[in-house]
Amino acid sequence: MNNSFFNRFMPKEPKFFPLLNSLTDVIVKVADLLQEYVNKKAEGKDTEEYYKNIKEEERNGDKITIRIFDELSLSFITPFDREDIHDLTNNLDDIIDAINSCAKRIMLYNPKELPKEVFELTKIINDCAKYLKESIEQLNILKKNPKHIKHCCEALHDLENEADDVYAQFIMRIFTDEKNAIEIIKLKDIMYELEKTTDCAEHVSKILKTIIVKNA
């Protein structure tokens, strides 16, 4: 077990930190691309390339995730509990998948007009991505200074609450402003997927809090 007396004096495998950092790099990239995607679509410009780039980054995220899982199976000693590394990796990958799913829905549904709340949520997702990156970058010095990770976790919680409010405002407004039932269905599904992405980000913050409790 990782918490045994013997393991405390064994060198820890450092490879997981750069791999996790690479995974959050992908999250930042796809969050940026998603925000650019909706902005360009609102301007009436060709956006097919943005979805292709998001999909390509999603594949890169899958490769990194598989690499981390492979390293987990091969490593004798890990920086913190295997289960926590597994859960953290899996949930970071879920965020990438969720952003890809958002972009896919926008591409497939091709709504006539994107509501203002779409731009608000993509901005929140972008902010979440930056806090996720900051928090993961601090994992290798967790024992020395967990304060910054805690700050990032609080910010992610606040952003998820903000996203909930934006989604609720959208639901209240859409049934009054939009008369086309098909467009309502399209937009509601897109907005649900965007809001769910922020839920995934907050879930990562909960895993980070668990890691802090066990290791800081």
- Number of compact structural domains in the chain: 1
- By C-alpha distance, which of 66, 69, 57 is closest to 95? 57
CATH at residue 14: 1.20.58.220
191 within some domain: yes
146 within some domain: yes
Distance CA 192, CA 207 (A): 23
User: How does residue 123 score in pLDDT terms, banded at 50, 70 and 90?
Assistant: very high
pLDDT digits (tens, 9 = 90+) for 8-49: 433 455 789 999 999 999 999 999 999 999 999 999 888 889
206 within some domain: yes
Quote the mean pLDDT of the chain.
92
Q: Are 156 and 204 in contact (CB under 8 A)?
A: yes
106 within some domain: yes
Provide the whole-model pTM.
0.91
4 within some domain: no
3 within some domain: no
Give the model's pLDDT for residue 208.
96
133 within some domain: yes
Residue 180 has pLDDT above 90, yes or no: yes
The amino acid that residue 97 corresponds to is: D
User: How does residue 145 score in pLDDT terms, banded at 50, 70 and 90?
Assistant: confident
Beta carbons within 10 angstroms of residue 181's beta carbon: 8
Range of the domain at 74: 10-215
Within the chain, where are the H helices? 16-42, 48-74, 82-109, 116-137, 147-177, 181-215
Give the model's pLDDT for residue 162.
98
Beta carbons within 10 angstroms of residue 49's beta carbon: 11
Return the percentage of the chain with pLDDT > 70, whole number: 94
23 within some domain: yes
Give the model's pLDDT for residue 215.
86
